[in-house]
Amino acid sequence: DKKTTSNGTDPRAIRQWDNEHFFHPWDSMGVAGMDRVIAHEAKGIYLYDPQGRRYIDGPGGMWNVQIGYGREEMAQAIARQAMSLSYHSPWAFASEPSAVLAKKLADMAPGDLNSVFFTTGGSSAVDSALRFAQFYNNLRGKSQKKLFIAREKGYHGSTYLSATVSGKERDKSFLDTEKRLVRFLPNVNPYVRPEGMSVEDWCDLKVQDLETAIVEAGPENVAAFIAEPILASGGVIVPPPGYHRRTLEVCRRHDVLYISDEVVTAFGRLGHWFASEPVFDIVPDIVTCAKGLTSGYLPLGACIISDRLIDEVSGPDRESVLFSNGYTYSGHPVCCAAALKNIEIMERENLLEHVRQVTPKFQARLKAQSRFEIVGDARGMGLVGCVECHVPEGRGRSEADRLELDKDIGARIDAKCEEMGLIVRPLINMCVFSPPLIITEDEIDEMFDILERAIARVEAEVL
Ligand code: PLP
């Protein structure tokens, strides 16, 4: 247990310093340290701790490690770029990696989305997309048109503006957002539709929610609708069929921009570079992406804007109009070189095709989890899925205890999976699976075999 890491640090010191000094995302303000598993090395779909214990990475990092860990080619591409040109100002210079990547993304993105604005990650991509929507309306002389419509359970990031359009209520318990800028639509999850209602009727209702919100706010006041094709961290919520196309039509009718937040769904998660057009039949006005763009080797994001919007607000008389938004690291050459190598690997290894091939197995094993009494719903698409667990109602436990029980169930499953070599890290009671896209059918079986054993044991404990 005392083995030191390759850098010579005692794992106990790592845990102590992490507990005492690393203020993590979504950290608890309780006094006890979280004693997180120490990620020490990683290869393929596996993470290893300093003692050499191996874990399948179920969430695939943060839904971003598409090509898997430990690719030497990635390290070499990153090193080469760092040696030849480690940085340049994106204000003053162009460079090969960012120009080639911009062209590549424009070719991959749906329809006429051809202007690529590079950012440092997903939050800054969403932030830039929202700011562009307001900028666009200012330049069209519609400076009233500033509101955003977003959805309950949506997640779009952690900057002030991207958090403002995020709809996970509990995340806002102790943090402020700009409430006047946003209207939220109720949950789109077909799982929560009233008993007896068809999915088609549910879709009608959800499309109507958007139209009603726009009309109530006044279309002259609404800039954009922002939506993840699948609400990822809200619990892998797949809206009903036809929802995307019909909500886009509503937006068009009211001159409201449609921003498709593909931070999770792009780069192969659903078997395509971008999911909006091939999977959901929409060409949005702006698409945001990050995560799988570099498979997590380095941070990078982008928002990609349609020619229609750019053309509408540019012209010979607009020389002095600046989109005064951007980052020191916009189009960072080393990050762009990593993205290019990541895309090259995905192309060479036919990873999009691979995802389409292993998806039926992944989805079948995922959905089979609903046979457990403590599993309320198992849902997903492509290589992403969620197993939502609950203590069944009517077992003499009060509704007030439900959140605590749900949390407890998630924590128990997590602990059992960890013992057996699978990282789950549930969102409360929701176990999310978004493994590296290179996962094989045998590895999918291995992952769900562990999960099933863990759920069976927890079920025996809590029922
Ligand atoms: N948008 C979506 C759909 C996301 O899932 C996330 C992160 O999970 C973000 C935006 C924010 O991305 P980042 O954490 O890279 O800032």
The atom number, within ligand 1, closest to the CA of 157 reads 11
What's the CA-to-centroid distance between 264 and ligand 1, angstroms? 7
What's the CA-to-centroid distance between 156 and ligand 1, angstroms? 5
CB 430 within 8 A of CB 388: yes
Question: Measuring from atom 1 of ligand 1, which residue has the nearest CA?
Answer: 156
* pLDDT tens digits along 111-123: 999 999 999 999 9
Question: Measuring from atom 12 of ligand 1, which residue has the nearest CA?
Answer: 122
Mutation probe of ligand 1 site: the residue of 123, 236, 276 with most atoms within 8 A of C-beta: 123
User: What values do phi and psi take at 96, rounded to 5?
Assistant: -60, -50
- The dihedral region occupied by 105, where left means phi > 0, alpha psi between -120 and 50, and beta the remainder, is alpha
What's the CA-to-centroid distance between 259 and ligand 1, angstroms? 14
What's the CA-to-centroid distance between 279 and ligand 1, angstroms? 20
Residue 1: what pLDDT? 46
The atom number, within ligand 1, closest to the CA of 233 reads 5
Question: Measuring from atom 14 of ligand 1, which residue has the nearest CA?
Answer: 122
Residue 32: what pLDDT? 81
What's the CA-to-centroid distance between 150 and ligand 1, angstroms? 15
* β-bridge pairing 301-306 and 113-119: antiparallel
Residue 4: what pLDDT? 62
What's the CA-to-centroid distance between 82 and ligand 1, angstroms? 26
What's the CA-to-centroid distance between 321 and ligand 1, angstroms? 30
The atom number, within ligand 1, closest to the CA of 158 reads 16
Mutation probe of ligand 1 site: the residue of 62, 153, 156, 265 with most atoms within 8 A of C-beta: 156
Nearest-angstrom CA–CA distance, 44 and 326: 34
Percent helix / strand / coil, the chain, rounded to 5: 45, 15, 40
The atom number, within ligand 1, closest to the CA of 265 reads 3
What's the CA-to-centroid distance between 392 and ligand 1, angstroms? 32
Residue 3: what pLDDT? 58
The atom number, within ligand 1, closest to the CA of 261 reads 3
Pocket residues: Cβ below 6 A from ligand 1: 121-123, 126, 155-158, 228, 232-233, 261, 263-264, 290
Nearest-angstrom CA–CA distance, 119 and 161: 15
> Which distant-in-sequence residues (6+ apart) come within 8 Å of 372 by Cβ?
455, 456, 459
Query: pTM above the 0.95 mark?
Result: yes
Mutation probe of ligand 1 site: the residue of 264, 270, 303, 384 with most atoms within 8 A of C-beta: 264
The atom number, within ligand 1, closest to the CA of 154 reads 3
User: Which DSSP state fits 157?
Assistant: -
Q: Give the residue among 281, 445, 341 at the shortest CA–CA distance from 66.
A: 341
Residue with tokens 């695939």: 60
What's the CA-to-centroid distance between 270 and ligand 1, angstroms? 17
CB 137 within 8 A of CB 145: yes
Question: Measuring from atom 15 of ligand 1, which residue has the nearest CA?
Answer: 122
Residue 145: what pLDDT? 98
SS3 state at 227: strand
What's the CA-to-centroid distance between 412 and ligand 1, angstroms? 27
CB 331 within 8 A of CB 98: yes
Nearest-angstrom CA–CA distance, 370 and 105: 38
Rounded-to-10 torsion of CA 55, 56, 58, 60: 100
- What pLDDT tens digit does each residue of the chain (463 aa) get? 445 666 789 999 999 999 999 999 999 998 887 889 999 999 999 999 999 999 999 999 999 999 999 999 999 999 999 999 999 999 999 999 999 999 999 999 999 999 999 999 999 999 999 999 999 999 999 999 999 999 999 999 999 999 999 999 889 899 999 999 999 999 999 989 999 999 999 999 999 999 999 999 999 999 999 999 999 999 999 999 999 999 999 999 999 999 999 999 999 999 999 999 999 999 999 999 999 999 999 999 999 999 999 999 999 999 999 999 999 999 999 999 999 999 999 999 999 999 999 999 999 999 999 999 999 999 999 999 999 999 877 665 666 677 788 889 999 999 999 999 999 989 999 999 999 999 999 999 999 999 999 999 999 998 8
Nearest-angstrom CA–CA distance, 185 and 290: 25
Q: In b/e form, how buried is each residue of 33-67, taking b as 16+ CB within 10 angstroms?
A: eeeeebebebebbbbbebeeeebbbbbbbbbbbbb
Helices (H), 376-427: 402-419
